[in-house]
A and B are shown apart, each in its own frame.
Chain A
Amino acid sequence: MIPANVPIQRRAGARLLVVDSRGQTRDLLRSNFPTLLHPGDIVVANDAATLPASIFGVHKRSGRSIEVRLAGSESLSPEDVKQFSAVIFGEGNHRTATERRPSPPELRPGDTLELGPLTAIVLQLIGHPRFVMIRFEGPSTRIWEGLARYGRPIQYSHISTPLAIWDTWTPIAGPPVAFEPPSAGFALDWRTLNAIHRIGARFATITHAAGISSTGDDELDARLPFDEPYRIPESTARSIRLARADGGRLIAIGTTVVRALEHAASVHGVVCETMGLAVNKIGPTTELRVVDAILSGTHEPGTSHHKLLSAFLNQHTLAKMDQVLREYSYLTHEFGDSIFVEKSRHRESWMEPSIFGLRNRAPEGGDTSPLSF
């Protein structure tokens, strides 16, 4: 797929490929997302704001330049801003593809990292020479200030211009605990939220510390997603119960919401008010307990986000969806187009190659058009 290389959250012509529960597909303008909702449905989004989690500095012992990308935290508490897992890169910046970035100097426990106004200590390596636990020195007010003023959003080589923090915050962003944007939420402007209410659907949020999406290292990428803390407020748990009682569907905005809700349901049996640490990996063998559909970006095969979709679709449908996305030049990555995927009624056995046979994409500016039947 073609990377979206301009940081515009809601392009006027952004597309939405719908794959319904029977595997049928439609091509919509993403702005028409609310038309997919029914009265009684509940839309759940991740309200995490994105930290400027890329911090440039020097590895003091070697004197070499490094980039620290904060990758995870064990807690969402504002007081726990000292300790993070982090992926360390050598010289250079985001304009070099992540997998081509030079390695950092050898990292050892006790090493000091001088990061602008911040100082961090390497506490330990986490099973990989570039993946470490670090602790920032100083009071939490100083650490928040250092991150806010000196950190930059993590970004990748498909976007050349430096991202501003506002590029990475969804309209509903609240607690600054994500390391990369929960970018499915870029689609949610306030007009859309009002439309959701007018339809008679509910809207609720969780907070999930979306982690780093690429490390540039195959071994580390295979460990993605890292463990991510989340919080489900009581009001959200209650809204989900009410939607269920109304026979409504649960629509997750993004992979992080799926991961958090399914983790909570697997631990507690139902989605309840909780603070948890999502350690689950969702894939083809996952039986979804609570989520009925997902609005998400268009993910490349091989990524953990793409693998998550195989909990909704069988492999054949997923492959065909990828084919349609490619053939119709959907844009990928965080500022790209979107998909809306309903959980298949017959995920493992369903197969119908012909349904992707037609190629009647909606005309530009068009509303809806079945791609197949």
Chain B
Amino acid sequence: MANASVEVIEAQELAAWKGIRAAVTGGTSGLGLALVRILLDHGARVAFVARNRNRVERLMSERSEARGITGDVSQKGDIYSIAIQILGLLGGLDVLINNASSLGPVPLAPLADTNCEDFEVALQTNLLGPFRLTKALLGALAASAREGGHPLVVNISSDAAISAYPNWGAYAASKAALHHLSGIWNAELASQGIQVISWDPGDMDTPLHAIAVPDVDSTALKRPEDAARELILKIEHHLSAVREGGP
């Protein structure tokens, strides 16, 4: 579904999202922007995070019900400021989507030509940022579980986390680590009622992909709105499964 709207969303779907508090990082472009819009369409209470204040304010003027936060998840010093604003503005948290990503070197480069500093940026954004933000928000997610919610953390991954594509080294290694981190979080937090998943949206027509692969035929790529819709359905299935006592 390209442009979700309240009119075409089934009542059952809307009910699943009623009262859900969701936060999305990297929320002003690509998949993150599509997620913010579709989550709002479904009636969730949404806070989004992005580095560029102008873009944050533009989205807030488009969707006045969205809570915009200017911050950089790759910066340790920003994490608790972001967490305070998410929890202050939403009053708690049920769904965290760690979506903000960095390619590392631009243009993409073989590992042998990758500067350590570029690799570090990829790790800070794609691995340490999600780790730190999840950790800062863990108390709120656990509270959601204790109060009968079904908290979920979604770490946006990539097929590059699994397959070894030349030139994607920094990005792929950071996403592979994020993928594994998700599994460990999930195992460790099961006792607290918190689920953590890693999800690959596929190759999308996003600004990040255009930077990585400038010459690609964008019409062959998935639209971020479609990927967002897939994720929303996946989360709904999660909510249904746990409500029915499933995994």
Q: Is the CB of B140 within 8 A of A174?
A: yes
Q: Is the CB of A145 within 8 A of B191?
A: no
In this complex, what residue of A is CB-closest to B45?
A78
For the complex, is B67 an interface residue (Cβ under 8 Å from A)? yes
Q: Is the CB of B148 within 8 A of A235?
A: yes
Q: State which size class the interface on A falls in.
A: 35 or more
Residues of A within 8 A of B60 (CB): 141
Q: Is the CB of B85 within 8 A of A166?
A: no
Q: Is the CB of B138 within 8 A of A175?
A: no
Residues of B contacting A: mostly: helix
For the complex, is A170 an interface residue (Cβ under 8 Å from B)? yes
Interface string of B47-84 (1 = CB under 8 A from A): 00000000000001000000111100000000111111
Which of B70, B90, B188 contacts A78, CB < 8 Å?
A: B90
Residues of B within 8 A of A174 (CB): 87, 92, 139-140, 142-143
Which of A47, A81, A165, A194 contacts B139, CB < 8 Å?
A: A47
Q: Is the CB of A77 within 8 A of B139?
A: no
For the complex, is B89 an interface residue (Cβ under 8 Å from A)? yes
Q: Is the CB of B146 within 8 A of A205?
A: yes
A300 to B146, CA, bound (A): 34
In this complex, what residue of B is CB-closest to A145?
B85
Residues of A within 8 A of B81 (CB): 148-149, 165
Q: Is the CB of B84 within 8 A of A141?
A: no
* Chain B min CB distance to A142 (Å): 11
In this complex, what residue of A is CB-closest to B137?
A174
A52 to B81, CA, bound (A): 9
A204 to B68, CA, bound (A): 31
Q: Is the CB of A175 within 8 A of B80?
A: no
Q: Is the CB of A144 within 8 A of B143?
A: no
* Chain A min CB distance to B26 (Å): 18
Q: State which size class the interface on B falls in.
A: 20 to 34
A173 to B80, CA, bound (A): 11
For the complex, is B147 an interface residue (Cβ under 8 Å from A)? yes
Which of B69, B88, B147 contacts A233, CB < 8 Å?
A: B147
* Chain A min CB distance to B83 (Å): 8
Q: Is the CB of A171 within 8 A of B139?
A: yes
Q: Is the CB of B146 within 8 A of A147?
A: no
A81 to B67, CA, bound (A): 15
Which of B84, B92, B136, B139 contacts A144, CB < 8 Å?
A: B84
Which of A172, A176, A234, A236 contacts B87, CB < 8 Å?
A: A176
For the complex, is A140 an interface residue (Cβ under 8 Å from B)? yes
Residues of A within 8 A of B80 (CB): 148, 164-166, 169
Residues of B within 8 A of A140 (CB): 89
A173 to B69, CA, bound (A): 20
Residues of B within 8 A of A233 (CB): 146-147
Known: A141-B67, A149-B81, A234-B147. A166 touches B136 (CB 8 A): yes
Q: Is the CB of B84 within 8 A of A147?
A: yes
Interface string of B138-154 (1 = CB under 8 A from A): 11101100111000000
Interface string of B88-119 (1 = CB under 8 A from A): 11111000000000000000000000000000
For the complex, is A49 an interface residue (Cβ under 8 Å from B)? yes
For the complex, is A326 an interface residue (Cβ under 8 Å from B)? no
Interface string of A51-71 (1 = CB under 8 A from B): 110000000000000000000
For the complex, is A4 an interface residue (Cβ under 8 Å from B)? no
For the complex, is A197 an interface residue (Cβ under 8 Å from B)? yes
Q: Is the CB of B139 within 8 A of A197?
A: no
Most buried by A among B80, B139, B192: B139
For the complex, is A193 an interface residue (Cβ under 8 Å from B)? yes
Q: Is the CB of B148 within 8 A of A169?
A: no
Q: Is the CB of A235 within 8 A of B191?
A: no
In this complex, what residue of A is CB-closest to B144?
A174
Which of B87, B89, B140, B191 contacts A194, CB < 8 Å?
A: B191
Residues of A within 8 A of B139 (CB): 47, 49, 169-174
In this complex, what residue of A is CB-closest to B91?
A78
Residues of B within 8 A of A164 (CB): 80
Interface string of A71-88 (1 = CB under 8 A from B): 000000110010000000
Q: Is the CB of A145 within 8 A of B70?
A: yes
A175 to B143, CA, bound (A): 10
Q: Is the CB of A172 within 8 A of B142?
A: yes
Which residues 126-173 in B have Cβ within 8 Å of A in the complex? Answer: 136, 138-140, 142-143, 146-148
* Chain B min CB distance to A294 (Å): 21
Q: Is the CB of A78 within 8 A of B192?
A: no
Known: A47-B139, A175-B91. A235 touches B147 (CB 8 A): yes
* Chain B min CB distance to A76 (Å): 8
Q: Is the CB of A176 within 8 A of B84?
A: yes
**Told that A49-B139, A169-B139 touch, could you supply 6 new A-B pairs with CB distance under 8 A?**
A52-B84, A78-B89, A144-B88, A166-B136, A172-B142, A235-B147
Q: Can you list 30 A-B pairs, Cβ within 8 angstroms, ordered by A?
A: A49-B87, A77-B91, A81-B88, A141-B68, A144-B85, A144-B88, A144-B89, A145-B69, A148-B81, A148-B82, A148-B85, A149-B81, A164-B80, A165-B80, A165-B81, A166-B136, A169-B139, A171-B138, A172-B143, A173-B140, A174-B87, A174-B143, A175-B87, A175-B92, A176-B84, A176-B87, A205-B146, A233-B147, A234-B147, A235-B147
Residues on A facing B (Cβ under 8 Å) = 47, 49, 51-52, 77-78, 81, 140-141, 144-145, 147-149, 164-166, 169-176, 190, 193-194, 197, 204-205, 233-236
